[in-house]
Amino acid sequence: MGLFDYSIFQYLFVSLITILNPWQMIGDDTKTSIINKSINASVQILRAYEIETTYEKIEINTMSDTVTIKDIDFIYYLKDNSEICNYDNMISSDYLDFKDFYGCPIHVNIESLEIGGLFSKDQNSIKSKLKFKNISLDSKIFDNNAEAKAIKKLLDINDKIAVNLEYDTEYLFNKNKFELVLFFEIIDNIKISLNTSLSRINLPITYDYDNEENFNKIKFTINEFGIKITDKGLIENINLISELNNQPQISDIFISLLDVDQDKLGIAKKGSKNYILNNVHSFLLNSGTIMCQNSNILTLEGYDFVYGDTREVESTIWQLCNDIQTGF
């Protein structure tokens, strides 16, 4: 790169803008006003796209660094002929009586949405948090189709299909350390939690990852990695649908996708790839809980993925789950 390469000045200019970013210098009252107006502007945009959007209230707590939107409702009317919404469904009795709009309504409710990181006072910490509590889809939309309604009854789905989702990250700039906690749940079906910690993170200034030189500059160390999955009925439901369609169970499909005999999985060395696959198969076969974590740190760089012969990247990545357990 030449001394007078224009890109040097471009990066310096971007850095200067970042330094002058006024958000940290804005008072909490002004931030509160901006956040309220931004949320209302977002709601107005959704309404402009025919998504009826309402909420109960916005609660902002600067001390706990949280913005919470309570009881968010979305209603959108399908107007395209499909398996779950044909033209007969669109012309409902409520529509004919001028009590509702034309189309098949899809109704989604979020009990609360919590946002964190907007009032952080730590100059070295960049925090981001999203917590969706009880995202529920009204399952009446599936009553328009006979097959979907039959599956709904078979799986004993209640009036709503509900999901919880939580995403929490923190980047410590002075330590060059990134932490992530993720939680996902389909209520009465499955729970998934994941946590990871990265350090010594290096990313190229530009985001042109098609450029091999830039891609090779990516470096990071995985200090911690852990995932836990608890099945609460999802596997059984998938197997019921498979049986209804004369398809094999999910554990059999998993085995058919592997390039190894099932007998070899049972005698695999602990911590090996086949040992991990055997535990995954056992989980899919018996349900329950599966959890894994790394026992050693793992350092990777873009160079490994371009020139994989230098280090055995694929076998190394399996080490993220070399400590794996299943329970029923």
Task: Please determine, for residue 114, whether its predicted confidence score (pLDDT) is greater than 50.
Answer: yes
Task: Tell me whether residue 153 is in a domain.
Answer: yes
- Tens-place pLDDT, residues 6-24: 444 444 455 544 544 566 7
**Lowest pLDDT segment from 13-27, 168-182, 284-298:** 13-27
Is residue 10 situated within a structural domain?
Answer: no
Structure tokens at 134: 């009880």
Residue 35 CA: distances (Å) to CA of 40, 51, 60, 70, 230: 9, 21, 9, 15, 37
Q: Is 72 within the bounds of a domain?
A: yes
Report if residue 302 sits inside a domain: no
Q: Which residues in 60-80 are b (16+ Cβ under 10 Å) and which e?
A: beeeebbbbbeebebbbbbee
* CA distance to 37, 54, 234, per residue, from 41 (Å): 6, 12, 38
pLDDT at 96 over 50: yes
Judge whether 150 lies within some domain: yes
Q: Which residues pair with 157 in a beta bridge?
A: none
6 in a structural domain:
no
**Of residues 264 and 234, which shows the higher confidence score?**
234
Q: How far apart are CA 291 and CA 29, in angstroms?
A: 44
DSSP state of 85: B
Residue 192 token pair: 């998934």
Q: How far, in Å, are 181, 215, 266, 290, 317 from residue 219 at the CA level?
A: 21, 9, 36, 30, 15
120, 161, 183, 200, 224 from 180: Cα distances, Å: 17, 27, 10, 15, 10
Give the per-residue pLDDT at 4: 40
Q: What is the dihedral of CA 152, 158, 159, 165, to 10 degrees?
A: -100
Number of domains in the chain: 1
- Band (pLDDT 50/70/90 cuts) for residue 209 is low
Structural domain includes residue 115: yes
Q: What is the pLDDT at residue 2?
A: 43
Tell me the pLDDT band of 312, cut-offs 50, 70 and 90: low
Per residue in 217-226, pLDDT (tens digit) is 888 999 999 9
Residue 274: Cβ within 10 Å count: 17
Strands (E) across 264-306 are located at: 289-293, 298-301
Domain assignment of residue 314, yes or no: no
Distances (CA, A) of 290 to 124, 196, 265: 36, 17, 17
Q: Which residues span the domain enclosing 119?
A: 18-175
Q: How many helices (H) and strands (E) does the chain have?
A: 12, 12
Consecutive H or E run containing 14: helix 6-19
- In 3D space, the residue among 92, 37, 46 whose CA is nearest the CA of residue 67 turns out to be 37
